[in-house]
Amino acid sequence: MKPYFVKTPSLVPILYQDQIWSFSSKHKNIYLTFDDGPTPQISDWVLDTLQQYNASATFFCIGKNIEAHPTIFKRIIDDGHAIGNHTYNHLNGWKTSKEDYFDSVLKTEKLIEKHQITNRKLFRPPYGKIKKSQSKLLIKNKYAVVMWSILSADFDMNIDADKCLENVIKNVEKGSVIVFHDSVKAFEKLQIVLPKVLRHFNKKGYTFNRIE
C-alpha cells in the first residue's frame, strides 16, 4: 500500500483553501465521517453504535450502493445523519476526465435527491484524489468538497485495530474531521475501534456532530 498521512499536514489546507479539512471550534466538537456505504449489516451496525452515544455523523455514500440498498440509506437519513456524495462507482479523480467525473457525481446526486435530503451538498473524492478542475467544477455547482484532518486507516490491511485506534486518539483536536469506512474491508477494525472512540471522547466531554 502506498504511504499516506494519518494526520493531514498543516500546509495542505493552506494550499487547498477551497476544500474543507477541519472546522474551527472553541468547543469540543468532532466530526465523524463514514465513506463507501451503505453496506448491508455494516452500516446498520454503525448506526446502532452511533445511536448508543447520541452521536451524529456524515455518510459519504457511493451511488451504486444507494441504488442497491435504499432501505439502509433511508435509515441513515431517518436517524438524523448528514449525507454526502462519493461518486456513483468510487472513481479515482486523477484517472478520470472532468466530464465523466462530474457525470458520476450528478448520477449520485439524483439518487440522493429522491430522498429529499435537506443538508447542503457535500462531496468527498474517493481516495482523496481529485483534480483542481474537478474541484472547481463541483464548487461552482454549489458543492462543499470535504476532505479530512485524520484518517483512521481502517482500510489498511497492514495495521491492526490498536494502531487504528491510536491514529484517532492521538491526533484529535477540536473541530477534527475523522474518516472511517462502513465497508466490508474496514469492518474488522471498525467494530473494535468505533465504540472505543465514542466512549473515549464521550467521557472527555466531546460532542459528535454531523457536517452542516
Percent pLDDT > 90 in the chain is 94
> Residue 34 phi/psi, 5° resolution?
-130, 125
Q: What is the pLDDT of residues 126-142, one digit of tens each?
A: 999 999 999 999 999 99
What's the whole-number mean pLDDT along residues 162-189?
98
Fold observed for domain 11-208? TIM Barrel (3.20.20)
Q: Are 88 and 106 in contact (CB under 8 A)?
A: no
Distance CA 155, CA 164 (A): 9
Placement of cell 481529485 in the chain: 130
Whether the predicted pLDDT of 25 surpasses 90: no
Q: What is the pLDDT of residues 26-41, one digit of tens each?
A: 899 999 999 999 999 9
Q: Are 2 and 28 in contact (CB under 8 A)?
A: no
Residue boundaries of the structural domains of the chain: 11-208
Q: Are 153 and 117 in contact (CB under 8 A)?
A: no
* Residues with active-site annotation: 35, 181
- The pLDDT assigned to 33 comes to 98
Q: Are 55 and 92 in contact (CB under 8 A)?
A: no
- The pLDDT assigned to 26 comes to 87
Whether the predicted pLDDT of 123 surpasses 80: yes
Model confidence band, residue 197 (pLDDT cutoffs 50, 70, 90): very high
What's the whole-number mean pLDDT along residues 206-210?
97
Whether the predicted pLDDT of 1 surpasses 80: no
Distance CA 72, CA 90 (A): 19
Higher-pLDDT residue of 119 and 201 is 201
Placement of cell 455494516 in the chain: 42
Instruction: List the beta strands (DSSP E) in 14-81.
Output: 29-35, 58-61
- The pLDDT assigned to 117 comes to 82
What's the whole-number mean pLDDT along residues 120-126?
97
Whether the predicted pLDDT of 9 surpasses 90: yes
Average pLDDT, the chain: 97
